[in-house]
Chains A and B, each alone.
Chain A
Amino acid sequence: KQEVTQIPAALSVPEGENLVLNCSFTDSAIYNLQWFRQDPGKGLTSLLLIQSSQREQTSGRLNASLDKSSGRSTLYIAASQPGDSATYLCAVSRTSYDKVIFGPGTSLSVIP
């Protein structure tokens, strides 16, 4: 059974810092991994999707890496801003048509 964990559960950093969020999964046989952002009381916004054959994806100040063999992914946020404050969730799927399993999320607070 696939289990997804995220460390840390919460993180508070001063504005401008670079930071790394971690995601681990127990079954390395994944199809892809996605990172989402959720603002309080709202739905999720997709940030990055990494296919199992890829090592990383970049979008603006965000960079996500994937190491299938070790069951890990990291989300790197450069030059953090107060607007980055949100909960960040990672999610994996076993096949292209399988359900998506989410991690518990990391709550990020960027202090001005």
Chain B
Amino acid sequence: KAGVTQTPRYLIKTRGQQVTLSCSPISGHRSVSWYQQTPGQGLQFLFEYFSETQRNKGNFPGRFSGRQFSNSRSEMNVSTLELGDSALYLCASSLIALGQETQYFGPGTRLLVL
């Protein structure tokens, strides 16, 4: 069974640009969550999607948005990039409920904003 995949793995952008990250969950998993990980703030929850609907949201500005498609694949978009957005972005999938069962994480996308 293939694991969670994320593309691209590495990305370099400049301030003001926008970026789209992609996450393909494990087959059959319907919940996809996104996290931002930085040395200073640790692992912070961005949002969770289930059946194409955002079910949970963390405390991030509106520049961070996401969506989920009918095949459960998810994308995350960050507009008007800032230097502080440089981070490892992780997505995780679970069968139904992110707080109920094991989450399976992808390898992450490392974003560098210059």
Which A residue's beta carbon lies closest to that of B4? Answer: A43
How far, in Å, is A48 (CB) from chain B's closest CB?
9
Query: Is the pair B107, A42 in contact by a Cβ cutoff of 8 Å?
Result: yes
Binding site for A on B (CB under 8 A): 4, 33, 35, 42-45, 48, 55-56, 58, 88, 90, 92, 97-108, 110
How far, in Å, is B15 (CB) from chain A's closest CB?
24
With beta carbons under 8 angstroms apart, the residue of A44, A96, A104 that contacts B105 is A44
How far, in Å, is B82 (CB) from chain A's closest CB?
22
Q: How many interface residues does A have (CB within 8 Å)? A: 25
A43 to B74, CA, bound (A): 17
Query: Is the pair B55, A97 in contact by a Cβ cutoff of 8 Å?
Result: yes
A27 to B42, CA, bound (A): 19
How far, in Å, is B36 (CB) from chain A's closest CB?
11
Query: Is the pair B105, A93 in contact by a Cβ cutoff of 8 Å?
Result: no
With beta carbons under 8 angstroms apart, the residue of B4, B45, B88 that contacts A100 is B45
A74 to B105, CA, bound (A): 22
New A-B contacts (19) at CB < 8 Å, excluding given A46-B102, A94-B99, A101-B45: A43-B4, A44-B90, A44-B92, A44-B103, A44-B105, A93-B100, A95-B99, A97-B55, A97-B97, A97-B98, A97-B100, A98-B56, A98-B99, A99-B56, A99-B58, A99-B99, A102-B35, A102-B42, A102-B45
